[in-house]
Structure 1
Amino acid sequence: MASDRHSSKTTFDAVRKSRTFLGVFTVSLCCCLVAVFFLVQRRVQVEFSRLENMILAQRDDLRAELTGLLFKTRALAALVVQNDGHVAGFDEVAKFLANSKSIDIFALAPGGVISHVYPLKGHESLLGMNLFDSPFGGAFIASQGNDGISVFGPLQLPDGTNALLGGLPVFLTNAKGQNRLWGLAVIALKFPQLLDVADLDLLEEQGLSYEILRYDPQTKQRVPISASDRPFDEHAPHLNMAIQIFDANWQFRISSNEAWHESFENWLYIFFAAVLSLLLASLAQKNRDLAEAHHRLEEMVYKDTLTGALNRRGLFYTMTARAAEAQDKKFILYYLDLDRFKDVNDTYGHKAGDRVLQHFASVIQSVAPPDSVFARMGGDEFILVLFSAYTEAQMTAALDKAAATLANGLPDEGLAVPIIFSVGRAGYPENGKTLDELLSRADRAMYLDKERRRQHTRQVAR
């Protein structure tokens, strides 16, 4: 049975230790993961700030380039206005303006019909084309009421090239000061080559995705005109930035498609969080083990291993601590001694004697007040110190109840003989001012009680 109890206690201690470790590990890991979450969120915010700076720079470069190129149509319009509707020196002016690799052609279209194209070679099919009758003529017609540059496309020209068109209505003033529409000055920009100024390839090299969208007035939806090779994920965190180029409303959006679990840095955070949690759990477990070891050491030093009561050292330590807390508080000390205990050891053996001591200690503690101090002085001698408001009559009744229980012995363990004890009493401060004085006084009173029991036994025997 002792082996089973020891095994059960060992198992319970192991479970308790594992629960402590797992509990601290779980709590600390949750706290660390919360910290990691905010750290990752902060990292995302920093990444978004970086993306915002990049997209602003790319947008401004692109808008500045396109605006500068489209403004060249004003020079063509000025050429027509200066010559009062006659086109002279077109090739020379267009050649001078075509100083960018992004420019495909310049064209003039009196009445909407293209009559001049630069460079003409390779674009002969554009001559005679009526811009108002073309598939995108509706947009040109709508631009007639606008004295600013209108942007169309990108779209495919009849010669098979893709281009972004810029058209500027040209107005002439008659003698009465009235304006009349002469036609259009047109520039076609190579697409998507004109986007090179934004260095969009750099975005892809950094693992970013992007899209440039234009608003299509016919479908009333945004249509992508350029995108990265990596598909843009609308559900991923991204930034949108509007690009207004004259009357064209574009949208530039950029995002990092790297999910949180694809980031080595995030996994590094989680790894260190787990390691820190393990360290904290180990330290907590170590601290608990040390506390338990300290507690066991105190039990070894101050407690009697057989009965669980305080030993002599524990009694003096506890009474000294109590005296420091309340020096003037009265208490009663009872000296308890088992009668004929040697006969039990001699007759039944020391193991039986140990069970008698354990049973005696258990019964006395069961009738004693909760705030009392119970100690084994050694052998079969015990001390009970009463601090509560128990009267002497109440304590006498409690001890009589214990004596009645002990008188039955331990029949289940083969000890049918009654367990009898003698009691000596000493009160503080009337019977002594020190613990030694009280022990001495109570010891003498106990022996007087023992002697009375012997005389009573002899008289009964006669």
Structure 2
Amino acid sequence: MACARRPSKTPFDAVRKSGTFLAVFVTSLCCCLVAVFFLVQRQAQVEFSRLENIILAQRDDLKGDISGLLFKTRALAALVVHSDGHVADFDDVARYLAHTRSTDVLALAPAGVISHVYPLKGHEALLGMNLLDFPYGEASAASHDHNGISVFGPLQLPDGTTALVGILPVFLKDDAHQGQFWGTAFIALSFPQLLDVANLGLIEKQGLSYDILSFDRHKDAWRPIAASARPFDEDAPHLNMPLQIFDANWQLRISYNQPWHGFFENWFYIFSATLLSLLLASLAQKNRDLAEAHCRLEEMVYNDTLTGAFNRRGLFHTMAARAAEGQDKKFILYYLDLDRFKDINDTYGHNAGDRVLQHFAAVIQSVAPQGSVFARMGGDEFILVLFSTDTDVQMTAGLDRAAATLARGLPHEGLPESILFSVGRAGYPENGQTLDELLSRADKAMYLDKERRRRHTRQVARQGCAAGCR
């Protein structure tokens, strides 16, 4: 954008004279007070950020501990595979695996029917339970499909206990080395005692409320499976953290409730609102000056100071910006070069040469269609880009008009010689896929045009000499 020059004043003087200081101060103070209001409302979420690492660590501990316990089914499966389907030393292996208090039951179910249970005492009702029946059948079928542990529950077992169930299919290779379903390894983890491994009580000590939700595959809905003593408040600021344990989807939700005046930060926000408003008001003029300076700097970076057209960097920047916006339709690139420009500089001086360049740029831009891009590549070389092929014919006629205008020179400025130029043309995408390729193609075409003009000039000169000699 164009930047108006301003007198050299301090930001405070300029703002006070224009009344901007007061306007910015009042506006920013109102905004700050509104921001303080929302900061107070969102203070709980700020506390979440402070406690997030602790909570995430507890969630990861919970996931790791539960997953580690469920992995014990793999040891049972290995026992079956090692004994080629004949369950041996089950009690000894299960006794070793079930040394933690969270492990309630370990079992093996050949063909899906539980036949081995540890510890058997108190869990006799599990014997003969068919894991292919509802509700365990769904988990068994799912685990059979992906050959992994499937998690179900927490649910109530036939022995009256509530547990989180893990089921792992066991496969034995037949003579053709194909996996044949043998049955399943089964583990039941007592619930909610299982959650003690994560020490969720620490969350409550931080003044938080929590609950854990499990996705019920049958009802296609979330259901709570554990909660803190203080009820979870969905209307209060809260944080949801997904907890994936094999194929079981859980959510750990945490809410924080505390009066706004219990936070020192809130009082600090209110105290600093006025000071911040004063600072913003004093910076308003400085920001305006910086914006104007940035505008002038951008003009220096992307524009040719002599002709006002884009420079090489400005051309590439503009074309790259159009490409980034998806404007990659056909366009035409003209490469324009002044003829005998060095002779003008040598004869009339560099100031005259600069004036020729300015005049040439002004004439070409006057005949260029709206929306085209005009740039000076350096020296006496220019680029014109048309983004509509419909204007190609019009541009050819426009270049003819420009050539006629330039041929008159600048006699009123002491430059009576004709200003001539050569043109090379390249189209996207038929003549190149990149801007460099198009520039190279148009440059070669321009030099062919220049050479044609030279041959024509020499021919005319020879004919004139021959006529004079006669």
- Mark the structure with the bigger radius of gyration: 1
What TM-score, normalized to structure 2?
Answer: 0.49
Provide TM-score, normalisation by structure 1: 0.50
